[in-house]
Structure 1
């Protein structure tokens, strides 16, 4: 009896992009893998809309032009002759042609190296056809940029709006490859993946990761490539893709260090200095974004050295939001991270406050990790802990006041508050219980003082996080996108819920139960946008922190 074949590939093969043999009732691949095989129902196959036919026709014409050899070359051109029916994604293929020459002297003999123009390692390319599927038309790209600027840009403002908007406006098929990838990654962090798909298996995520790998394999290196890696890390961190998030953040740090963004004065510079202040400010903001994300990534784990070095004495903070957005047509000024005196008239923006909070969080992480890695003088460690405690308390007060004044940048201010509160809980958890100290070591009175400050601090922070959650709900009543822009608050919310659960078990205060309900409610709402919140809730349920909510 002759074998019958289905008109389309089976669902498992379509999902995994395998070449299906289409036998009925089950294809050979599924039989070999002992997987359930199924084919889509013909009743669900709809006719293509006229506009879809037009778009497809235009793309076929474009492909034919490239095949006819119009004299142009691009990174993706050599793949155009390969049949698309093979199921291979163009963005995931790695081409060996048109590979850029990275200056070997930069690593082999730095004395002979001269910095290049910033766009020297940013090749032009034909936009792969599978990327067109996501970027669609120029109007769609403009809408994507607008959505990004009112979303991720509000709490991680690293892109220079005007320059990015100009590049999107002048989009063409031969545009610089860095912008193609950046647009793809902007779409990645502005869209919420379907609940039916794992965040790491979506076509958009795989295409963005594949195109990024492909460009790096071609020796591409640019600020836009680095920003794209940062956005991929945001997506992975926000949806709990581990260890991918950790690896991507570390990768971004290494790229930034190669470019010399961590130390403009002493580190080797891959590229020449930027031509304008705003271009330099964009580099500074991008590097700080990496620092922020890596510090945040290391709150819940310990013993892993940070990939980003501690800021140097001359490190500058980003300018204020008004100056960065050129409101009033003025250039911004940059406040040093370290100062010997405090000027109360100095304008510090919300993003700069986030950078300050991330820096102090990094100091707390280092203090925590050194506890088990070196034998330090007890008096010195307690003194350092007290100094960190005082600094964090002052920063908390400053941010609380800033949240009521800077109403136009609340996403960034709330992010800074979340990092500050997470740093405080991390520090206080080290000293709130002193029973784990060695009985053979000498004890000092300052340990008890720090223990008392930690216990009181934990109580204060949980109340602060509760109030922050209430403020978010109040602002969200007028801005329904605010909760989706609060990714870096998730760990402080988790910390607060965990501590409140402990307080309830120890003292059973009704007030703490109400606080816990509000914090958990916000985590549940955030889980609709960022799946990592689901993981936090699961941990809280498993350790019994939410038991009071079910009784």
Structure 2
């Protein structure tokens, strides 16, 4: 039986049978028309049929477009396009958003191929694909900044975009664009202090990337016929996920990572400037073939993202050392010495690289490195004698590290005339916060106003960072209040003990 609605318009339409219910679909939704002119036909005359316990009922599942293979992709594309128009207003705005993204966030996380992205952007109005549109929405999302403090960044666009990602994954619409979209959302969550969401998202990133085989790109020969530029983009995306995975573990104290540890011969990302520029592909391919590896000596100059990968790998070792130590105390002691020595060496090199090549080369690495060192020192403090020389040495090292963080941040980020806020790393506030905690404790213990001045400088820097990442404007103020209360309680208890001893 043909649909009366279809025959009324004189259309020959395909017929689909499901559960003994005959449903006719318009040709525009079965792939016979231009995707740009897709529309959903509202069926006016639904067929009545008998169900157990009911004489007449209407079948909803029979008309479910997601359930029908000819309709699924058009319906998904239509849904994502509708949400994109609702959020952006016009798809033509993506040119402006993309330009802002590539001079902003891309400078901190250069995973997208600029040339491949703009090729896809040319067809956004004629053939809007769901995965690419979702990536565009995530680029828009990560460029959003807090309008005031405190402000939750769990906005309506954020929730809608995550829902779209869930829909695409549920219907197995997986692609490199989707993995990169999830990666940008995870970076957004880290930067705005959405810690639980970030923990979940980084795991989803890793699983989605593995489903595509991106992890195999680490140990794949670039000469095996695969496009070297695509291979580099996949490699950079996998490294970015791994770096965020280690950073989330560092913040949460969790050694169960979603990505496996890299090996020494795994290739690192090529130089960031070469990757981001629209230069000669031949030069880029040559650099890809000669890319440095994870085992490249620290004193050898590598790109910003490559250095971040080396840093994050060491951070992962720190997490395992501090949260899941072995049963061999001698091995643990030797590993702690090795980790501290390596971290300190690279810290000095990063400062030197930053002064030589500009602050954008070393900023991301130094803040991640600083967080790892602070974590290691805090762990070692709990293992040494209360009045022993090792405790004195560790406290002095923490003080020196904190002061270096203040000096570096002031030199690199205090110049408001030359500093571009959109390029700020989402990892930096965490390191500055840890440095501020050290200065706060030193100020309370010693009463030295120099520590108070450094604390004030860090507070101002974090408030400035809060204009880009909400975590900087909220976390420090909240924890500083908590620290003040904790310090007052500690002082009160100390006074009680003193009075009881004098009584």
Q: Normalising by the residue count of structure 1, what TM-score does the alignment of the two structures yield? A: 0.71
1:180 aligns with 2:137: no
Work out which of the residue numbers 346, 349, 364 in structure 2 matches 1:398. 349
Cα distance in structure 1, aligned partners of 2:189 and 2:470: 10
1:364 aligns with 2:321: no
- Any gaps of 5 or more consecutive residues in structure 2? 1-25, 45-63, 489-503
* Deviation of 1:251 (Å): 0.8
Task: State whether residues 134 and 181 of structure 2, in contact with CA within 8 Å, keep that contact through their aligned partners in structure 1.
Answer: yes
Cα distance in structure 1, aligned partners of 2:414 and 2:218: 45
User: Over aligned residue pairs, what C-alpha RMSD do you find?
Assistant: 3.6
1:164 aligns with 2:117: yes
Task: State whether residues 36 and 125 of structure 2, in contact with CA within 8 Å, keep that contact through their aligned partners in structure 1.
Answer: no
Structure 1 residues 475 and 76, CA gap change in structure 2 (3 angstroms): farther
1:336 aligns with 2:293: yes
* Deviation of 1:139 (Å): 3.8
Task: State whether residues 357 and 419 of structure 1, in contact with CA within 8 Å, keep that contact through their aligned partners in structure 2.
Answer: yes
Structure 1 residues 501 and 177, CA gap change in structure 2 (3 angstroms): same
- What's the counterpart of residue 66 of structure 2? 95
> Which SS does the other structure have where 2:193 is aligned?
coil
Cα distance in structure 2, aligned partners of 1:395 and 1:259: 34
Structure 1 residues 141 and 435, CA gap change in structure 2 (3 angstroms): same
Cα distance in structure 2, aligned partners of 1:392 and 1:460: 14
> Which SS does the other structure have where 1:477 is aligned?
coil
* Deviation of 1:385 (Å): 0.4
Which shifted more, 278-287 or 291-300?
291-300
Q: How does 1:136-215 map to 2 (within 5 A)?
A: 136-192=89-145, 194-195=147-148, 199=152, 201-215=154-168
> Which SS does the other structure have where 1:487 is aligned?
coil
- What's the counterpart of residue 225 of structure 1? 178
Cα distance in structure 2, aligned partners of 1:323 and 1:69: 44
Q: How many residues align?
A: 435
Cα distance in structure 2, aligned partners of 1:326 and 1:205: 30
Structure 1 residues 416 and 208, CA gap change in structure 2 (3 angstroms): same
* Deviation of 1:166 (Å): 1.8
Task: State whether residues 30 and 71 of structure 2, in contact with CA within 8 Å, keep that contact through their aligned partners in structure 1.
Answer: no
Work out which of the residue numbers 372, 377, 388 in structure 2 matches 1:428. 377
Q: How does 1:463-502 map to 2 (within 5 A)?
A: 463-481=403-421, 485-502=424-441
Larger-gyration structure (1/2): 2
- Any gaps of 5 or more consecutive residues in structure 1? 1-64, 84-92, 102-120, 438-446
* Deviation of 1:431 (Å): 1.4
1:30-58 CA-to-partner distances (Å, cap 9, x unmatched) read xxxxxxxxxxxxxxxxxxxxxxxxxxxxx
Cα distance in structure 2, aligned partners of 1:162 and 1:82: 43
1:389 aligns with 2:389: no
Which shifted more, 163-172 or 419-428?
163-172
Structure with bigger RCO (C-alpha 8 Å, 6+ apart)? 2
Task: State whether residues 249 and 293 of structure 1, in contact with CA within 8 Å, keep that contact through their aligned partners in structure 2.
Answer: yes
> Which SS does the other structure have where 1:299 is aligned?
helix
Cα distance in structure 2, aligned partners of 1:424 and 1:325: 31
* Deviation of 1:413 (Å): 2.1
The answer to which structure has the higher helix fraction is 2
Structure 1 residues 254 and 69, CA gap change in structure 2 (3 angstroms): closer
Work out which of the residue numbers 193, 197, 210 in structure 2 matches 1:257. 210
Task: State whether residues 266 and 293 of structure 2, in contact with CA within 8 Å, keep that contact through their aligned partners in structure 1.
Answer: yes
1:460 aligns with 2:395: no
- What's the counterpart of residue 33 of structure 1? none
1:512 aligns with 2:457: no
Task: State whether residues 110 and 236 of structure 2, in contact with CA within 8 Å, keep that contact through their aligned partners in structure 1.
Answer: yes
* Deviation of 1:198 (Å): 6.1
Task: State whether residues 124 and 175 of structure 1, in contact with CA within 8 Å, keep that contact through their aligned partners in structure 2.
Answer: no
* Deviation of 1:487 (Å): 1.4
Cα distance in structure 2, aligned partners of 1:133 and 1:302: 39
Structure 1 residues 67 and 263, CA gap change in structure 2 (3 angstroms): closer
Task: State whether residues 351 and 413 of structure 1, in contact with CA within 8 Å, keep that contact through their aligned partners in structure 2.
Answer: no
- What's the counterpart of residue 125 of structure 1? 77
> Which SS does the other structure have where 1:262 is aligned?
helix
Task: State whether residues 148 and 186 of structure 1, in contact with CA within 8 Å, keep that contact through their aligned partners in structure 2.
Answer: yes
> Which SS does the other structure have where 1:256 is aligned?
helix
- What's the counterpart of residue 110 of structure 1? none
* Deviation of 1:95 (Å): 3.2
Cα distance in structure 1, aligned partners of 2:476 and 2:70: 43
* Deviation of 1:123 (Å): 11
* Deviation of 1:214 (Å): 1.2
Cα distance in structure 2, aligned partners of 1:354 and 1:386: 22
* Deviation of 1:220 (Å): 1.1
- What's the counterpart of residue 17 of structure 2? none
Q: Normalising by the residue count of structure 2, what TM-score does the alignment of the two structures yield? A: 0.77
Task: State whether residues 314 and 337 of structure 1, in contact with CA within 8 Å, keep that contact through their aligned partners in structure 2.
Answer: yes
Task: State whether residues 317 and 355 of structure 1, in contact with CA within 8 Å, keep that contact through their aligned partners in structure 2.
Answer: yes
* Deviation of 1:250 (Å): 0.9
Cα distance in structure 1, aligned partners of 2:98 and 2:414: 27
Work out which of the residue numbers 275, 289, 299 in structure 2 matches 1:324. 275
* Deviation of 1:348 (Å): 0.6
Which shifted more, 70-79 or 327-336?
70-79
Work out which of the residue numbers 331, 346, 355 in structure 2 matches 1:380. 331
Cα distance in structure 2, aligned partners of 1:500 and 1:94: 60
